Amino acid sequence: MSAEAVCQVRPGGAMERDVIVKGVAPAGKTGGCAGGAMTIRRAGSDDLAILVQLEEESQLRPWPEQLFQGEMENPHSRIDLLLVEGRPAGYLCYHFLLGEISIINLVVSPRFRRRGGARGLLENALLGENGAEKAFLEVRVGNKGAIALYRCCGFQEYGARKGYYADGEAALLMEWSVGKGGDEKTS
């Protein structure tokens, strides 16, 4: 896994990162995922409607706006918003504390799937300025596409939780760490 990031200041002082995911952009294109330029930036309260819309078009049981508000108020939580050609395409919600990331939710709109956006969001969180040493997540055992993505990004299985989800489906537990499936950090 490798990503390059170019940072710039948006109006209002917020930082925006253009993330280039190596090995994902089609031949002859630079600075983007297949199908368009990809930008990842931290979501703010002005993005609540966008996050809710992405959630509703992507999930069977979407998060309500109040859940996003709670995550934004949590000092250990971060929501990164994925834009493709300036259009909202997905987000990653995660908690970061003491060098460890806990992936809470990863969503990419069906219109933008299989273009490298989910991988870009993960790489930005894992290899970005956070300084993460480890990351953990739970994923439905039946979500083969997500499991393949996480494996591709260096996550390894370490256990399962029976009946974890409300419908009784089990969760696969996966972890990532620098030097054990995850890329070594580069400065």
Provide the domain count of the chain: 1
User: Does residue 121 fall inside a structural domain?
Assistant: yes
Which of 23-27, 42-46, 133-137 is predicted with the least confidence, judged by mean pLDDT? 23-27
The CATH number of whichever domain residue 152 belongs to comes to 3.40.630.30
How many angstroms separate the CA atoms of 130 and 132, rounded? 5
Q: What average pLDDT does the chain have?
A: 80
Q: Quick one: which H or E segment has residue 41?
A: strand 38-42
In 3D space, the residue among 101, 119, 106, 102 whose CA is nearest the CA of residue 38 turns out to be 119
User: Does residue 187 fall inside a structural domain?
Assistant: no
User: Does residue 135 fall inside a structural domain?
Assistant: yes
Which of 49-63, 70-84, 95-109 is predicted with the least confidence, judged by mean pLDDT? 49-63
pTM of the model: 0.77
How many angstroms separate the CA atoms of 4 and 18, rounded? 8
- The range of the structural domain enclosing residue 127 comes to 3-182
Instruction: Find tokens 């996966």 and name the residue.
Output: 174
